[in-house]
């Protein structure tokens, strides 16, 4: 399975492409960072992120896109920009008819290092080891994007089997069409 991982951000949007299977050693196919200038208007920065992700999808042809789920940070302005960058990355994936998986930072850290509270240096070290890279990917946004892609490569098949089993058992299945309930007449009608 080939996965494009996206660590969203407006100033630096990390990306990484890996190919692999659960239990196997994935291979890095590409890594980098999309940078936008803070001097540009927001809509132009988002357009640059969208255009770059679209080009990456065409170049690497992944089977899925894994994006870090944005959580509230101390700086709400930063969280908003990060969420907007994640949104345009998801839009590019949808336009390419690709599934998008959202992974929390702690889920990715646990998958790559065994510790959901690992720091950036630990994540970078483990990404370097898991992929057998000669040098650590820099900046940390690029390493985080590779970690997202690895996480999804390892976890997606199991998550899909659980989803299929849940649907087969009726969990999460669509509800039957709504039926109109008999009109309640209440006490006053008596």
Binding residue numbers for Mg(2+): 7, 68, 141
Please say whether the beta carbons of 28 and 43 come within 8 A: no
Residue appearing with tokens 């990456």: 56
43 among known catalytic residues: no
68 among known catalytic residues: yes
Q: In the chain, which ranges are continuous DSSP H helix?
A: 42-60, 76-95, 105-113, 120-131, 140-168
Residue appearing with tokens 């960058």: 85
Q: Which of 97, 107, 141, 144 is catalytic?
A: 141
Which residues are known binding-site members? 7, 68, 141
Q: Which of 68, 119, 121, 144 is catalytic?
A: 68
Please say whether the beta carbons of 99 and 64 come within 8 A: yes
**Eight-state DSSP code of residue 11:** S
141 among known catalytic residues: yes
* Pairing assessment for the beta strands 2-7 and 12-19 based on DSSP bridges: antiparallel
- Catalytic amino acids? 7, 68, 141
């Amino acid at each position: 399975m080939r996965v494009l991982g996206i660590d969203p951000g407006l100033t630096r949007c990390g990306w990484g492409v890996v190919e692999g299977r659960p239990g196997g050693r994935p291979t890095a196919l590409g890594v980098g960072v999309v940078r936008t200038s803070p001097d540009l208007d927001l809509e132009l920065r988002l357009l640059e992120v969208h255009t770059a992700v679209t080009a990456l999808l065409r170049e690497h042809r992944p089977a899925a896109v894994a994006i870090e789920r944005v959580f509230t940070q101390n700086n709400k302005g930063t969280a908003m920009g990060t969420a907007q960058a994640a949104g345009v990355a998801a839009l590019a994936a949808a336009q390419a008819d690709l599934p998008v998986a959202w992974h929390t930072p702690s889920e990715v850290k646990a998958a790559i290092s065994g510790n959901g509270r690992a720091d950036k240096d630990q994540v970078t070290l483990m990404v370097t080891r898991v992929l057998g890279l000669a040098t650590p990917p820099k900046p940390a946004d690029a390493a985080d994007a590779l970690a997202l892609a690895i996480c999804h490569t390892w976890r997606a098949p199991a998550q899909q089997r659980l989803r299929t089993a849940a649907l087969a058992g009726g969990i999460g299945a669509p509800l039957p069409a709504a039926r109109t309930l008999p009109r309640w007449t209440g006490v006053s009608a008596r």
